[in-house]
Amino acid sequence: MLTKNDLEELLAYSDEHLVLSVYLNTDSSAGNDESALLRLRAMLRNVEMPKDEEAILHYMMREHDGSGRSVVMFSSVENGFWRAYPLALPVKDRLWVHHQPYIKPLARLLDLYGNYGVVLVDQQGGRFFSFHMSELLAQEGILGEKIHRTKRGGASQVAGRRGGSSGQTDHTGELAERNMRDVAEAAAAFFAHYGVRRVLLAGTEDNVAALRALLPKRWQSLIVGSFPASMTASADEVLTQAMQIAQTQERAEETKLVQEAITAAAKGKQGVVGLDQTLEVARNGQVYRLLVSENYHASGWACKGCGYTTTQQMTKCPFCGQDFVQVPDAVEYAIRRVMQSGGEVEVVQDSPELAEAGHVAALLRY
């Protein structure tokens, strides 16, 4: 599993020696288990980095255990750098040679599948799930006082973790509310601990509504959907339902953000469109939301000193005076710079509006 620390290391890495980045689909359900090695050899055929090719092939033949649906590998033998990450998600086969690891495909996966939290709730307690990159990161639960219901006219008996039987001292509604408050408090702590960025609620409609109202506003603002589910549902069942809801909401959110960025740029207020303008504000750390068409690439020029990047051919950097070198994808620089400065990256699929605006747009902090 690719962790936050792993990503930060990849973002920070840069060296004079080249890095070979390989994304390989190994999804056996798509028939790739036997053909992956053949496709890998074909991908490496025109690469002139024999030591790194050997490291990649050695890993796939001797060390990779076949788990997951894809594997991402980064190799720079000359600099003693090697990283491999089996993923539970499929990727498109890609190969990239540059001085930094190629992270754009990872940015898309993190955008779609990174750091989800789910609360499965009823009147007695809750179950909490943290999912990252389509894998279960953590699972916890809380059980409140048990609610015993009686026939009309009878007393409600309650018993549970708060000790013994309390006879008629608690009404069912009061007890359920107290349990729900405990769930909300525990869920907020769970989300904070695991760095959750998006929240889904599961259970009956009434229980979901009650929990939503009790969650702190910070977490209410991150709720992207809800769905019915049994308290006995497995983690895989919860993940499947959560991702179906989340991906639908993600598409709607992307459409909204694209329109917001284009409108802001047209008004000259905290928004820009087009790669060169976005590169400029990204260099200054102004971007809090970067929007990029999924398959958009554009070559550019990068300063060897300060890293300033542009699509315009230049020889000397206007900021530090160092030489420029050509880079295969200036979009990669924008993504890397925004993520390093704490911004978020949205890799957008099938957006004619974003394509018309130049395939790249940004919402700004200032």
**DSSP for 199-243?**
EEEES-HHHHHHHHHHS-HHHHTTEEEEE---TT--HHHHHHHHH
Mean of per-residue pLDDT scores for the chain = 90
What is the model's pLDDT at position 3?
86
Cα angle at 144 between 140 and 149, to 5 degrees?
135
Q: Which helix (H) or strand (E) holds 25?
A: strand 19-25
Residue type, 202: A
Find out if CATH 3.30.1330.30 is the number for domain 252-364. Answer: yes
Q: At residue 187, what is the residue type?
A: A
- pLDDT tens digit string along 253-296? 999 999 999 999 999 999 999 999 999 999 999 999 999 999 89
Answer whether 182's CB lies under 8 Å from 162's CB: no
Q: Rounded to an integer, what distance in angstroms lies between the CA atom of residue 363 and that of residue 276?
A: 15
* Per-residue confidence (pLDDT) for residue 34, from 0 to 100: 63
Other C-beta atoms closer than 10 Å to the C-beta of 161 total 12
Q: How confident is the model at residue 149 (pLDDT cuts 50, 70, 90)?
A: low
Q: 331-361 as b/e, with b when 16 or more CB fall inside 10 Å? A: bbbbbbbbbeeebbbbbbeebeebeebbbbb
**319-347 confidence digits (pLDDT tens):** 999 999 888 899 999 999 999 999 999 99
Between 160 and 327, the higher pLDDT residue: 327
Side chain identity at 16, as an amino acid letter?
E
Banded pLDDT at 145 (limits 50, 70, 90): confident
Q: Which residue has the higher pLDDT, 151 or 260?
A: 260
**pLDDT score at 164:** 42
**What's the pLDDT band for 307 if we cut at 50, 70, 90?**
confident
Pairing of strands 287-293, 223-227: unpaired
Out of 3.30.365.10, 3.40.50.2000, 3.30.420.60, 3.20.20.100, the CATH code matching 113-233 is: 3.30.420.60
